[in-house]
Amino acid sequence: MEDILDIQNVSKKYQQKNGETLALKDINLKIKKGEFVSIIGPSGCGKSTLLSIISGLEDKTEGKIIVENEEVNGVSSKIGYMLQKDCLLEWRTIYSNVLLGLEIKGIKNKKNTQYAENLLKKYGLFDFKDKFPNQLSGGMRQRAALIRTLSVKPKILLLDEAFSALDYQTRIKVTEDIYNILKKEKITTLMVTHDITDSRF
Ligand SMILES: Nc1ncnc2c1ncn2[C@@H]1O[C@H](COP(=O)(O)OP(=O)(O)OP(=O)(O)O)[C@@H](O)[C@H]1O
Ligand SMILES: [Mg+2]
């Protein structure tokens, strides 16, 4: 199976007035299509920095990011990024939150809307589509945020401690849920966490 993501010799230095921080040094990582890879490391070791660089939101100091054999500089529509916070908009219903990604990308057509609706049905949120985020549990919110991210059909999904805001038991359940969704939808995933129980999947 070919590598879908190839990180080559990536380094990152943050420059500040009072000096510089070497957040990443010479990182190399290859991920094959369909793999689910977890990176575990203590706070401050550079996990979020790595994901921000892969997503194109942060510049790298050195190295290359290659997605499907093409070098990526900047934001790529092939990459979905889910942060620790679910970032749902409280004034929009779950349905219109889920369609937000399609709106932003300017690809909210009938086919893509139907795809998003199917994801809502498949993963038990369709009956809640007219509710607002604060009417859902933490786990349901995470699922809604995931469906929003998946609606634009990313090839690679980056998860940054996406479940750490949840209590322990909910986190186990949601991590399992989300793992199953990603396996079913065959999404290549790179997840970072400092929690070894999250990474056992
Ligand atoms: N915008 C920034 N400007 C300057 N330094 C930064 C910036 N972002 C991160 N750093 C530094 O880079 C290093 C790595 O930070 P990063 O946020 O990637 O760690 P992390 O592994 O995600 O930690 P955590 O588990 O706490 O989320 C840290 O020393 C941090 O202080
Ligand atoms: Mg982090």
Q: Which domains does the chain have, with CATH numbers?
A: 3-200 (3.40.50.300)
| Ranges 54-58, 115-119, 172-176: which has the least confidence | 172-176
Q: Phi and psi for 31 in degrees, rounded to 5? A: -125, 130
Closest atom of ligand 1 to 52 CA is 18
CA–centroid distance, 113 to ligand 1, in Å, is 37
Centroid of chain to Cα 116? 17
Closest atom of ligand 1 to 58 CA is 1
Give the global pTM: 0.87
Residue 77: per-residue pLDDT: 85
Is residue 9's pLDDT more than 90?
Answer: yes
Pair 188, 33: CB distance under 8 Å: yes
pLDDT tens sequence across 104-124: 888 999 999 999 999 999 888
Torsion angle, alpha carbons of 79, 52, 149, 40, to 10: 100
Tell which one of 38, 48, 52, 83 to mutate to probe ligand 1, the residue whose CB is within 8 A of the most ligand atoms. Answer: 48
Residue 74: per-residue pLDDT: 86
